[in-house]
Structure 1
Amino acid sequence: MTYAGAIIGGSPEYGETLSIIANPATGDAAGEIAITDAAACERAIAAARAAFPGWAAKPDAERQAAVARCADIIEEHAEELARLLTAEQGKPMNGTGSRFEVGGAAAWTRHTAGLVLPVEYVQDDDAAHIAIHRRPLGVVAAITPWNWPLMIAIWQIMPAIRAGNTVVIKPSPFTPLSTLKLVELLQAALPPGVLNAVAGPDELGSLLTSHPDIAKVCFTGSTATGRKVMASAAPTLKRLTLELGGNDAGIVLPDADPQAIAEGLFWGAFINNGQTCAALKRLFVHDSIYDAVCDALVAYAASVKTGPGTEEDSALGPLQNEMQFRKVARLVDEARADGARVLTGGSPTAGAGLFYPVTLVADAKPGMALVDEEQFGPALPIIRYSDVGEAIAAANAADVGLGGSVWSSDIDLARDLALQLECGTAWVNKHGAIRPDTPFGGVKASGFGVEFGPHGLSEFLSLQVLHD
């Protein structure tokens, strides 16, 4: 099937160049897309700019109702979107796979519909009236990755339009199909031009980030690309929300119960096959329970099936693209050559598709690429430590700081230590849990700005102070 490469002003557009989107589980085509060019991107920006005054002027209740209708539409088409998502991204239909992602997209949309940022009054008496109002920014460019294509699209689109902005979204070239279908479906809830999409090469992203008619850029992706986005946006002083790479550390204290925490550790690391920015990517375990934690993780991993996402009992799927597949294989091979022990997995799965098994790597050490780099795949280095202060220092030595966790039966101690981690979100006895009412973002090279809830909504608004 050939999909439109753009949705502009409410209508699909087909470019002249066709691109095959691969199914990572089989290597076959998930679909064919007519990719668009710079001229189409310019038309999308123009459509969004033309739609902005009318959308921004609508009563707040109308925008709330439109976003709520978007949630209805996602729910009505949930199975269709989930199957398309599995075909292009590879994740399983069940578990924390495509149905989970589409359900989360609907839930985030519905929560965003209900957000309100009322006028704030600094002073309101006979002496003075000072009120803080909020105004939408204009056209927002949303540039989304391939790991959670629909969920992250919703995180960027919905607060933008809820606040009164208009949007041009560019999905990853690896996974454009589900996003384009989503944008097509949502036209039924929105005036033409409020939400536009363009699919094509990375050059379109550069056009969006540098364009003078774009007021804000939302980007989720690598730190290296985030730096390029920031540099491209600098001449026009655009607002930015950058959710960039992470290399999250988890620290297991000596009083933790290995059997009790094994499942939480596993899914903290391997949700979406490890292809999650805020997944647990470095696990520090105290020497006194190191072997017991390793054994518990190996036993749990044996119960988890990796297979094609279309098989209803698959819990994990393939890596999404060959670039990431090769990176994970390289990092594991290098760690093994440097003296680490592979407890399970450790080599590509034979046969079709980009399947790499769950891989647990013991005796890993800082300095190994598998520890120091974000692997973004199903390989977890397990690092032995004896002094918790040294473990926290090693966790904080990374130049990124998205998330981190502490695992212990002493909740008060775990909280105190978690607050010493240099990251945007810290968890106790869990990792990666996020909510639509709680802000999420990183520190250091993991970016800036936050998403979700009132704090996230405010990122799409400017302040105007009225004195009278």
Structure 2
Amino acid sequence: MTSTFAARHPTVAGTAAAEAVRSATGGRETLLVTNPADGSEVGRVPIAGSEEVDAAVATAHAALPTWRRTDPAERGRLLREAASAVADAAERLADLQHRETGRPLAEALAGARAGAGTLAQYAELGPLHRGRSLLGGWDATDLMTPEPYGVVVALTPWNDPVAIACGLVGAAVVTGNTAIHKPSEKCPHTGLLLNELICEVLPRGVLVSLCGDGLVGAQLAGHPGVQLVAHVGSTATGRSIAESASRTGAKALLENGGNDPLLVDEGVDPRWAAEQAAVGAFTNAGQICTSVERIYVHRRLADEFVEALAAQARRRVREPARPEEIEMGPLVDVGQRERVHAHVADAVRSGARVLVGGEVPEGPGAHYPATVLTDCVPGMTVLREETFGPVAPVRVVDDFAQGLAEAAEDRYGLAATVLTPSMAHAQLAWRELPVGTVKVNAVFGGAPGGAAQPRGASGTGYGYGPELLDEMTRTKVVHMGLPRTGSR
């Protein structure tokens, strides 16, 4: 991938005004994207300036009146076309994501196809999104009707860039909003290609694409012409967005960091539990919002569980050579690896033991091994903060009640998993854990359409499912009485 890709994918898509601005500010700063597997250059993209941010918002505003009046069925039809375009380009999107973020190609392809499916889902759900009639007087009509917010900004992450962007952008435009999408600066080429595919289908200005770093995102989040900011990413950035939105009056829709616990109860098969823990902690090198970040295991099966978990960690390798080995890609960049290793080193200084991994490998790229830590105790950074890497810290507890209490004592509130043979414990856990999603006897999975609300430092609002359409609209109450005519 060379810099010619950036030349074919301008920073602001679909606006002649922005083209003029870009020509007048030639030679500005660019983003260099490197492959985290080997450090090779993927490409460069230009960083949008403040003038281009203004131009993007102006373009989205100009397209809004016509788009919000477009028949909902027509909006759905166009989104179905966009879904087909994304599906056809899934392998191209996956290849770009693989090179920009290091995500294994098969996982990246699954994410791209999930994104196409999400667009198709909202293409069907959007035209069915409805208001509500109210029971008023006989001589009046009363109703509640959803209306689009206006200009929606979608700030999306690098760990699942296609699927998440398709959800936010799809729900926004199908409900009559126009959208500005800024993909993560760690995978701008993936985001630019996705936006190009969708922009080719939608009318000009309905989706506007911007590239840049955190400063560009901050300018968008605090722009007075933006009515809603949807962000998936770090808690620190989410807080900043919420503060900006409070000043401009925009709505903030946030899914931020998580520190998801896994409870392993007495009575479950320890080897099965270790398989579940490994999938939760090591998939995508632990770089999933709902990755397993901390493990509480009952003392009676701790030894067998830890031994099996260590064996699972050893199976995760950089370049699989045997059928039993599982590919694990690098972390997204060296900076992320440094943060992950700092958590491991802090745990070791505080008394934890490294059973597997825990060392920065030699050579290029941002690889980090699947790591299992034992003898972990409350207060360690690796248990208190989101590590976002392939690290499985194990805390041994005396009983389920202790594990549940410690798992619940956390400032985040994204998700949690419970492995238990006890229906009583399962019921207690899903009711007591202060998180948006509880999974019993499976670290991943669930029926389509689930839409949880993160809590605490993990954010606010629905980020998925049919309820995301509610987040992208606001309700207006209408009372229509009969007019009086003639003289009294």
- CA shift at 1:49, angstroms? 0.6
Q: Once the two structures are superposed, what CA deviation does each residue of 1:188-231 show, in whole Å capped at 9, x if it has no partner?
A: 21001011111112221121111111000001122122111111
Preserved CA contact (<8 Å) 1:9 1:44: no
| Separation in structure 2 between the aligned mates of residue 444 and residue 278 of structure 1, nearest angstrom | 15
Which residue of the partner structure matches residue 230 of structure 1? 242
| Separation in structure 1 between the aligned mates of residue 205 and residue 447 of structure 2, nearest angstrom | 29
Farther off after superposition, 410-419 or 358-367: 410-419
Determine whether 1:99 maps to 2:109: yes
Give, as a single letter, the amino acid of the residue that structure 2 aligns with 1:280. V
Residue in structure 2 matching 1:202, options 214, 218, 241 = 214
- Normalising by structure 1, report the TM-score: 0.95
- CA shift at 1:101, angstroms? 0.9
Q: How does 1:126-137 map to 2 (within 5 A)?
A: 126=138, 128-137=140-149
| Separation in structure 2 between the aligned mates of residue 82 and residue 41 of structure 1, nearest angstrom | 28
Using the aligned pairs only, state the percent identity: 34
Which residue of the partner structure matches residue 122 of structure 2? 112
Give, as a single letter, the amino acid of the residue that structure 2 aligns with 1:110. A
Which residue of the partner structure matches residue 483 of structure 2? none
Q: How does 1:427-442 map to 2 (within 5 A)?
A: 427-433=439-445, 436-442=448-454
Give, as a single letter, the amino acid of the residue that structure 2 aligns with 1:332. V
Residue in structure 2 matching 1:169, options 181, 189, 195 = 181
Residue in structure 2 matching 1:7, options 1, 12, 17 = 12
Preserved CA contact (<8 Å) 1:250 1:283: yes
Q: Once the two structures are superposed, what CA deviation does each residue of 1:243-294 show, in whole Å capped at 9, x if it has no partner?
A: 1111011111111111223222211222211111111101100000011111
Preserved CA contact (<8 Å) 2:12 2:52: no
Residue in structure 1 matching 2:271, options 253, 259, 266 = 259
Preserved CA contact (<8 Å) 1:419 1:426: no
- CA shift at 1:400, angstroms? 0.9
Which residue of the partner structure matches residue 46 of structure 1? 58
Preserved CA contact (<8 Å) 2:157 2:184: yes
Greater Cα radius of gyration, structure 1 or 2 = 2
Residue in structure 2 matching 1:318, options 330, 334, 337 = 330
Which residue of the partner structure matches residue 338 of structure 1? 350
Farther off after superposition, 202-211 or 238-247: 202-211
Which residue of the partner structure matches residue 424 of structure 1? 436
Question: Which blocks of at least 5 consecutive residues in structure 1 are unaligned?
Answer: none
Distance 1:5 1:361, change over 3 A: farther
Superposition RMSD on alpha carbons, in Å? 1.8
- CA shift at 1:418, angstroms? 2.3
Which residue of the partner structure matches residue 26 of structure 1? 38
Q: Once the two structures are superposed, what CA deviation does each residue of 1:109-150 show, in whole Å capped at 9, x if it has no partner?
A: 111111122231222773643211110110001111222222
Determine whether 1:184 maps to 2:196: yes
- CA shift at 1:25, angstroms? 0.4
Distance 1:269 1:383, change over 3 A: same
Distance 1:286 1:314, change over 3 A: closer
Preserved CA contact (<8 Å) 1:18 1:35: yes
Which residue of the partner structure matches residue 215 of structure 1? 227
- Normalising by structure 2, report the TM-score: 0.91
Preserved CA contact (<8 Å) 1:6 1:196: no
| Separation in structure 2 between the aligned mates of residue 157 and residue 397 of structure 1, nearest angstrom | 34
Preserved CA contact (<8 Å) 1:9 1:48: no
Which residue of the partner structure matches residue 378 of structure 2? 366
Residue 375 of structure 1: SS of its match in structure 2? coil
| Separation in structure 2 between the aligned mates of residue 347 and residue 261 of structure 1, nearest angstrom | 25
Residue 63 of structure 2: SS of its match in structure 1? helix
Preserved CA contact (<8 Å) 1:7 1:184: no
| Separation in structure 1 between the aligned mates of residue 399 and residue 109 of structure 2, nearest angstrom | 42
Give, as a single letter, the amino acid of the residue that structure 1 aligns with 2:59. A
- CA shift at 1:235, angstroms? 1.6
- CA shift at 1:373, angstroms? 1.2
Preserved CA contact (<8 Å) 1:415 1:428: no
Residue 370 of structure 1: SS of its match in structure 2? helix
| Separation in structure 1 between the aligned mates of residue 139 and residue 398 of structure 2, nearest angstrom | 63
Give, as a single letter, the amino acid of the residue that structure 1 aligns with 2:171. P
Farther off after superposition, 337-346 or 122-131: 122-131
| Separation in structure 1 between the aligned mates of residue 101 and residue 10 of structure 2, nearest angstrom | 18
